[in-house]
Amino acid sequence: MTSSSVASPNFGDLALLPAVLSAVETLGYQTPSPIQMETIPALLEGRDMLGQAQTGTGKTAAFALPLLSRLELTRREPQVLVMAPTRELAQQVAVSFSRYGQNLQGLEVATLCGGQEYREQLGALRRGAQVVVGTPGRIIDHLDRGSLKLDGLSALVLDEADEMLRMGFIDDVKRVVADTPKEAQRVFFSATLPAEIERIVNRYLVDPVKVAIESRTTTGENIEQRLVRVDGGAKLEALSRILEVEPVDGAIVFVRTRAACTTLTEQLSARGLNVASLSGDLDQSLRERTIQRLKRGKVDVLIATDVAARGLDVPRITHVFNYDLPQDSEAYTHRIGRTGRAGRTGTSITFVGFREGRKVGWIEQATGQKMSEMAVPDESAIRAHRDEAFHQKVIAALTAGAEEQQALVERLIGEGYDPVELACAFARLARADEAPIGRLQAPRKERAPRDAKPGRGPRDRAPSEGMTRYRVSVGHKDGVKPGQLVGALANEGGIEGARIGRIDIRNAFSVVELPSSLPSSILAKMARARVAGRPLEISEDRGTPERAPRRRNDDGQAPIRRQSRA
């Protein structure tokens, strides 16, 4: 037996197409990860597969490399379709396919996601894209339009299938899987295997290879991990209060999308905080300048997405905030690892909504550490903190001396003013610029049903704190479900589903609560989303009642009203 038989495996042992292998070598990849070693040979053989693995295990390369190796580049039609639950993940997967296929002449990759111009997507499809990556809602939209055809599909990949289930895409997933040619290879990846995913697997996968990769996630013992139970509408006020009270030197606030990054940066800047954003929209030079400003203390709070903050190492970061929960435990570990570096201590604070308790349990189980629960500082705590800060300023002023003000004070006392009353007046003037303490919405113990019956329920009540009601143009008559609305709005607008409030589905339309802080550009993108084949046409709900259908005669004509005689 030669020495190579006991050597560490490498990508050259996996029978990949030479052009794909050369791209892997160019990118600096040497040793395949466990999931890549187990999946690539089976996928090269065309086997169906069920993989249980989380983001961060190398699963994108695990399916992209073998599927690229099996492409027929002379065929100008979709051969590989990848469905992902979010726009960000779909874009990452599409970029990975392009990088791994950089040496394949004639390769075209199309990305079909909400929030993008149809013109670019249609152009890529017309050019004969062999690889199509997208979110369920936009993929269904192109299928309905006839711009995407699956007749020549040789492989279908569902990435993070359990997340698509939680976002309400299960009906879309079933349709795409059912429309895929029976002989096409089907590959499902899921971090967990809920019952609905198991049923789809049993129905659509033929003798699948099953691969399960355990996540080994560890977190630093020098990082204090806390959680705050707060719903979406109260997150901004909760973050503002904690930033004021906590001994923060530098902080990173992680959000899920670029749109949320922009919105939160604007909101905190309006509150007087020294804040900057770091997202995938920034070019490299601007990214580097932003990080340098953070290191030099010109920026105290950085709002960032997961992708943008990869490899970020700033020693003065004392706090990390998970404003939006990450997709998985690996992302959580990466986030909180931005603090407590090089032996220093750090603090991680995670915001958890009412519906996100299970996800916290998964993170705690994977990390092996429990998050301690903390309360949002109340008004009395904020006032006490401000009083103490002002007290320290007064002591410092007395120590430094204030002789230049003595003549004015003696004059006022000579005019008969009480010294204590004078001191109170001076304190009031000195603290006049302190920001007012905003209202904080208490976490809801119960959530109103999303699919309320017409004529009663959520729409009869005032909107939740920090939320505005919007009307969308689909309802019961279109067969729409709450999960479809959540998925379409979240993906097209680039916001997390947890920020979408109550949904009241009526017959001809639906009413949805969205954060009042959403900029008009995000609402415009949401309005372009399509559900049940129709654009949503979002407009602010003014409470106009649903108009009852007009009664008609037996011949289908509207009845003629009799005019009363005087």
Q: What is the mean pLDDT of residues 69-98?
A: 91
Residue 15 zone, left/alpha/beta (φ > 0; ψ -120 to 50; rest):
left
Q: What is the mean pLDDT of residues 21-39?
A: 86
| Residue 368: pLDDT band with limits 50, 70, 90 | confident
Query: Per the structure block, which two tokens stand in for 498?
Result: 């947890």
pLDDT, residue 54, reads: 61
Residue 218 lies in a domain: no
Q: What is the mean pLDDT of residues 443-455?
A: 42
Residue 464 has pLDDT above 50, yes or no: yes
Whether 311 and 329 map to the same domain: the answer is: yes
Residue 489 lies in a domain: yes
Task: Provide long-range contacts, Cβ within 8 A and 24+ apart, for 453-457.
Answer: 454/505, 454/506, 454/507, 454/546, 457/504
Per cent of the chain over pLDDT 90 is: 31
Whether 191 and 130 map to the same domain: the answer is: yes
Give the domain CATH number at 86.
Answer: 3.40.50.300
Q: pLDDT digit string (tens) for 416-437?
A: 888 888 788 877 777 776 767 6
Per cent of the chain over pLDDT 70 is: 83
Between 184 and 531, the higher pLDDT residue: 184
Angle between helices 170-179 and 136-145 (to 10 degrees): 50
pLDDT, residue 240, reads: 92
pLDDT, residue 350, reads: 95
Residue 167 has pLDDT above 90, yes or no: no
pLDDT, residue 550, reads: 46
Closest CA to 535 of 497, 478, 458: 478
Residue 271 has pLDDT above 50, yes or no: yes
- Which residues share a beta bridge with 189? 51
Whether 338 and 468 map to the same domain: the answer is: no
pLDDT, residue 218, reads: 53
For the ranges 276-290, 406-420, 442-456, the lowest mean pLDDT is seen at: 442-456
pLDDT, residue 281, reads: 67
Of 167, 185, 212, the domain-final residue: 212
Whether 200 and 247 map to the same domain: the answer is: no
Residue 125 lies in a domain: yes
DSSP secondary structure code for residue 534 in this structure:
E
Closest CA to 162 of 61, 81, 52: 52
Residue 558 lies in a domain: no
Most confident of 24-33, 45-54, 96-105, 308-317: 96-105
- Structurally, the chain folds into a number of domains equal to 4
| Residue 272: pLDDT band with limits 50, 70, 90 | confident
Most confident of 63-67, 117-121, 134-138: 63-67
Query: Per the structure block, which two tokens stand in for 229?
Result: 């139970």
Residue 562 has pLDDT above 70, yes or no: no
| Residue 280: pLDDT band with limits 50, 70, 90 | low
User: Residue 225, CB half-sphere, CA atoms under 13 Å: how many?
Assistant: 21
pLDDT, residue 6, reads: 43
Between 515 and 227, the higher pLDDT residue: 227
Residue 552 has pLDDT above 60, yes or no: no
For the ranges 21-30, 246-255, 327-336, 444-453, the lowest mean pLDDT is seen at: 444-453
| Residue 311: pLDDT band with limits 50, 70, 90 | low
Residue 555 lies in a domain: no
DSSP secondary structure code for residue 456 in this structure:
S
Residue 559 has pLDDT above 60, yes or no: no
| Residue 319: pLDDT band with limits 50, 70, 90 | very high
Q: pLDDT digit string (tens) for 48-64?
A: 999 887 655 678 899 99
DSSP secondary structure code for residue 150 in this structure:
-
Residue 554 has pLDDT above 60, yes or no: no
The answer to whether residues 222 and 348 touch, using CB atoms and an 8 Å cutoff, is no
pLDDT, residue 445, reads: 44
Summary mean pLDDT of the chain: 81
Between 207 and 525, the higher pLDDT residue: 207
* Beta carbons within 8 Å of 386's beta carbon, 6+ residues apart: 431, 434
Whether 208 and 68 map to the same domain: the answer is: yes
In our burial notation (b when 16+ CB lie closer than 10 A, e otherwise), range 458-489 reads: bbeeebbbbbbbbbbbbbbebebbbbbbbbbb
Which secondary-structure segment (H or E) carries 251?
A: strand 250-254
Between 263 and 7, the higher pLDDT residue: 263
Residue 549 lies in a domain: no
Rounded CA-CA distance 419/416 in Å is 9
Residue 530 has pLDDT above 70, yes or no: yes
pLDDT, residue 140, reads: 93
Residue 123 has pLDDT above 60, yes or no: yes
For the ranges 441-445, 460-464, 513-517, 524-528, the lowest mean pLDDT is seen at: 441-445
* Beta carbons within 8 Å of 63's beta carbon, 6+ residues apart: 39, 43, 82, 157, 187, 189
Whether 171 and 267 map to the same domain: the answer is: no
Rounded CA-CA distance 353/373 in Å is 13
pLDDT, residue 219, reads: 59
| Residue 294: pLDDT band with limits 50, 70, 90 | very high
Whether 33 and 101 map to the same domain: the answer is: yes
Residue 437 lies in a domain: no
* Beta carbons within 8 Å of 324's beta carbon, 6+ residues apart: 254, 255, 256, 257, 260, 351, 496, 498
Whether 68 and 99 map to the same domain: the answer is: yes
The answer to whether residues 504 and 472 touch, using CB atoms and an 8 Å cutoff, is no
The answer to whether residues 254 and 289 touch, using CB atoms and an 8 Å cutoff, is no
The answer to whether residues 82 and 242 touch, using CB atoms and an 8 Å cutoff, is no
> How many CB atoms sit inside 10 A of residue 545's CB?
8
Residue-number span of the structural domain to which 283 is assigned: 223-373
Residue 10 lies in a domain: yes
Most confident of 39-53, 434-448, 484-498: 39-53
Whether 32 and 101 map to the same domain: the answer is: yes
Q: 426 vs 101, 147, 288, 408, 409, CA distance in Å?
A: 69, 70, 44, 12, 10
Q: What is the mean pLDDT of residues 188-212?
A: 84
Whether 391 and 334 map to the same domain: the answer is: no
Give the domain CATH number at 502.
Answer: 3.30.70.330
Of 165, 191, 212, the domain-final residue: 212
Whether 70 and 186 map to the same domain: the answer is: yes
Between 428 and 106, the higher pLDDT residue: 106
Q: State the Cα torsion 108-113-119-123 to the nearest 10°.
A: 20
Residue 382 has pLDDT above 90, yes or no: no
- Which residues share a beta bridge with 471? 511, 539
pLDDT, residue 302, reads: 95
Whether 191 and 62 map to the same domain: the answer is: yes
